[in-house]
Amino acid sequence: MKHNFAKMILAVIAVLIPPTVAAQQQASPMAEFTKARMILMHTPSLELFDGVIHPAAGLYEHYFDIDAAADEHRNYIKMLRDNDIEVHTVEEVLLSMSIDKLRELASPYLTYDASATTLDKTEVEAYRNAVLGKMTKKDLYRTLLFHPTVELHETAFNTGLEAVYKHTPLTNLYFLRDQTISTPRGQIMCRMNSTQRAEEVDIIQACYEQLGIKPVWRITGEGNYLEGGDYIPFGTMGLIGCGLRTTIGAIEQMMQQDVLGHDTIVVVNDHWKDQYQMHLDTYFNVIDRDLVTMCFNRYDAVDASDPNFLTIRMFARKPGAKQYHEVMAVKDQSFKAFLAERGCKVIRISKQDADHYANNFLAIDGRHIMSVAYQSEALEKTYEENGVKVEWVPLENLIGGYGAAHCMTQVLRRDVYAPTTSIRVP
């Protein structure tokens, strides 16, 4: 039985692309462990302040120094560029737009609330437009980051008006992994599962358009959510976490539209659904085609009754088929066992290191990773024994936002993946 399934899925490689929205775009094989060539990032600034003064509401773990965080981010970018990686920042991309285009993008995010006044709505809107028309590019950019609302009140002196200023800042925009996923078929715009982050997707889509990138799909529909930290390209396989932030409806939508470009989709079911490990890349990561990491609690879970126990569902396409089908032979199999059967060595990340975001590294090439600094000597030794080159990145403040080196990067382009027989498809 197992041999029949192996033959069936191996034959998937030759399947034709079905005529869907992505039919005109050929899939370029890619994997998390090939050389990174182009990355989009966002260096945070004052928009973090509202997040750190109430970390929980800002989706942060704890308070941190926002000025030091910005310095850490700039240093991280420098380290990536020193590895011959082309890094674009959101600010650089948006400021390269024409001022008219940037103004059009920013306009919906500046609100004048005159409901407590007798002011004529048409005149209020005209005043708002006049101010927008005079804004510099920098202030239009700040408008996008802060989403300001000016709540107007009438007075009997001076200009006759006073205001209460409210912001709904994009406090999590620096986690550039989550608004999109970069697949063999192209970029897919996500649908965020947190109201605090919902509008980030539009900003990043505008960046893509400025960079000449046309996304192949955008997740839609009630209850369908996808966040980029749940997706890891693994050659002919695409690994997608399904748990706290990403739903099966979004995954099924991408398969139905064939916008992923992988022959096989492996859904990793997270039954715990806890903010501590909200995405796939917070408890699992890839160093090379045959070397991966997994956090202690997931690695040690041996019973399906334990919410930390990771199971999988696999979807593949038969030769000549237009849609994926579920491979029932591996349904609810242990994810750790699944990896082992395919020739992957799994490095266990201890609680000490996991608490310091050791698992959330970025692979910039096979066995070459950028990882949060100050991990245990034991982990350093394990990496050395497995031939892993590690560049330790100081991110002590930035990790206070519940993410690290992987979460802060959107890798837009990697070298093409060359399949080998070292990873066995089921």
pLDDT of residue 318: 73
Taking only the tens place, the pLDDT of each residue in 101-123 is: 999 999 999 999 999 999 999 99
* pLDDT average, residue stretch 376-385: 98
pLDDT of residue 36: 97
* pLDDT average, residue stretch 298-313: 97
Q: How confident is the model at residue 287 (pLDDT cuts 50, 70, 90)?
A: very high
Residue of 37, 35, 86, 31 lying closest to 365 (CA atoms) = 35
pLDDT of residue 423: 42
- Tell me the C-alpha distance between 143 and 101, whole Å: 14
- Tell me the C-alpha distance between 230 and 289, whole Å: 18
Residue of 237, 300, 297 lying closest to 272 (CA atoms) = 297
Percent of the chain whose pLDDT exceeds 90: 88
- Residue-averaged pLDDT of the chain: 92
Instruction: Provide the H-helix boundaries in 111-199.
Output: 121-134, 137-146
Residue 160, pLDDT above cutoff 50 = yes
* pLDDT average, residue stretch 125-133: 98
Residue 2, pLDDT above cutoff 50 = no
pLDDT of residue 426: 40
pLDDT of residue 10: 37
Q: Which residues of 368-382 are buried (b: 16+ CB within 10 A; e: fewer)?
A: bbbbbeebeeebeeb
189 phi, psi to nearest 5 deg: -80, 130
Q: How confident is the model at residue 142 (pLDDT cuts 50, 70, 90)?
A: very high
The whole-model pTM stands at 0.90
Q: How confident is the model at residue 421 (pLDDT cuts 50, 70, 90)?
A: very low
- Tell me the C-alpha distance between 383 and 62, whole Å: 29
Q: Where are the domains of the chain?
A: 2-14+29-88+171-413, 93-167
Question: What is the DSSP code (8-state) at residue 303?
Answer: S
Centroid of chain to Cα 211:
18
Cα 185-187-237 angle, rounded to 5 deg: 50
Cα-based distances in Å from 61 to 72, 200, 399, 403: 18, 20, 8, 9
Query: Quick one: 2-14+29-88+171-413 is in which CATH superfamily?
Result: L-arginine/glycine Amidinotransferase; Chain A (3.75.10.10)
> Do 221 and 193 meet the contact criterion of CB atoms below 8 Å apart?
no
Q: How confident is the model at residue 8 (pLDDT cuts 50, 70, 90)?
A: very low
Residue 16, pLDDT above cutoff 90 = no
Residues in the chain: 426
- Tell me the C-alpha distance between 323 and 328, whole Å: 16
> How do the residues of the chain divide into helix, strand and coil, expressed in percent and rounded to 5?
35, 25, 45
- Tell me the C-alpha distance between 306 and 251, whole Å: 24
Mean pLDDT check: name the lowest of 13-22, 61-70, 334-343, 398-407. 13-22
- Tell me the C-alpha distance between 41 and 79, whole Å: 13
Show the beta-strand stretches assigned E in 203-263.
217-218, 231-234, 237-242
Residue 152, pLDDT above cutoff 50 = yes
Residue 27, pLDDT above cutoff 70 = no
Residue 38, pLDDT above cutoff 60 = yes
Strand order, beta sheet including 389-393:
362-365, 368-372, 389-393
Retrieve residue 261's tokens.
């470009």
At a CB cut-off of 8 Å and minimum separation 6, what does 364 contact?
35, 36, 80, 83, 85, 370
Q: How confident is the model at residue 282 (pLDDT cuts 50, 70, 90)?
A: very high
pLDDT of residue 180: 98
pLDDT of residue 30: 82
Residue 339, pLDDT above cutoff 70 = yes
Q: How confident is the model at residue 404 (pLDDT cuts 50, 70, 90)?
A: very high
- Tell me the C-alpha distance between 176 and 398, whole Å: 13
pLDDT of residue 419: 72
